[in-house]
Chains A and B, each alone.
Chain A
């Protein structure tokens, strides 16, 4: 999470209007879903990888690591689509494996479906990765605010996001303190320490919320967290990229 956050704040596209980046990601997702061809999914993935790595300057390893995590989850869920389990020998299967009572098999149709689902999801996920790796949450919230999402919801999201980092700091401090007193030396003490840590963290968060409330009040808080809108740069190039992207995806969709 910290890695994603670091590049979101420090990439070459940081200053570009989040609406434009969100628009590009949305365009890719919609085309990927509508055209529904494995080639389109793969192409979207390649496009988003190129834009994120070459244009925004996010290292390939970072994009790869984020994608790998998601890829593992997607692959695991696609296994259920590709394979079927039955009591008797299947007909017309590409592959069948008898485990005694049960047959595990895959048909050409199920494999095609699995490929479709996997490539389509990978394409969409890559588009989302482009967005989260180039746009920090602060900017996404700004975008939501412009889209007239209710203030209360945005305030909660903003506070939660900030609180994650403050709590992570608390968590690390507490864990170090426990570790220093051999809190994680055996499996038994590890369980105990982790339980204590959980409850302490909860108390810590509660006390902190009260202190934040006091501090906000002292600056005139009256129920809504009003802040200045942020300034962005509009990039004409992102629309050009969008047009080329759309064109290539549609062509891939027709050909495939």
Chain B
């Protein structure tokens, strides 16, 4: 199996914080996978994702993309961000433009593609995310579900091989959530890998190929959901276990 992204023994402490956010986190992200990262608040899920496209630099350890250590130079970062996209928890933090079309076009334009190619990609990403009708609408007039899909389109237009998603499905109703998972599935069918950090156990059980469990800054397991959910120790790290032992 082709390994796209590799986190190797990462250590990270946020400036001004006493407790490390990552203490020796390692994870391999293979091609064409549906991965879900579970773990309590503060387990290091978001921090790990932010290392994936060079937004954070580990204090110790290494991130490798296609086998090569990340190059944090300006040129190198453009290359990383072409291949690894991040979708943030709150779409309002990501959508900076009042025009949906212009917001989606921002990423591909930064890849220094020509205008025709950017237009093609914006149209394709909008189509994939079902926001073609919204292109000439103002961002602030959209619903949360629509904003989430526009934010996704803005990242997909860069055509990343790996999509790192931080909690973007929380706060959506089941229908809107399903639409987002449909988009993820289409991405995976095209050969991309989607890594979703979430508290949504149902998504982990039903949708994921690989469930990653994080605890206090480390990855403690990365295995198919069938294996993770039956292990009593892992099960306890994921969430409260009710009487029926689900």
Contact = CB atoms under 8 A, between A and B. Distances in A.
Interface string A149-165: 00000000011011001
B141 A166 contact: no
Contacts of A222: 74, 78, 110
Nearest to B89: A211
Contact of B96 (A9, A136, A212): A212
B95 interface: yes
Contacts of B99: 138, 227, 230
B78 A215 contact: no
A93 to B, nearest CB: 53
A228 B119 contact: yes
A19 B93 CA distance: 31
Given A219-B154, A220-B158, A226 B98 contact: no
A230 B55 contact: no
A230 B97 CA distance: 13
B55 A217 contact: yes
A211 B90 CA distance: 9
A211 to B, nearest CB: 4
What bracket does the count of chain B residues touching chain A fall in? Answer: 35 or more
Contact of A216 (B90, B96, B98, B118): B96
A109 interface: no
B60 interface: no
A218 B90 contact: no
A137 B96 CA distance: 14
A220 B107 contact: yes
A222 B74 CA distance: 9
B90 A227 contact: no
Contacts of A219: 81, 85, 106-107, 110, 154-155, 158
A162 B122 contact: no
Interface stretch (B20-28, B33-41, B132-140, B176-184): B132-140
A142 B78 CA distance: 26
A228 B88 contact: no
Q: Which of A158, A166, A219, A230 has the most CB of B within 10 A?
A: A219
A227 B93 contact: no
A68 interface: no
12 contacts: A6-B141, A137-B98, A138-B99, A161-B98, A162-B98, A211-B93, A212-B93, A214-B50, A216-B106, A218-B81, A218-B86, A225-B96
Interface of B: 50, 53, 55, 74, 77-78, 81-82, 85-86, 88, 90, 92-99, 101-103, 105-107, 109-111, 115, 118-119, 122, 136-141, 154-155, 158
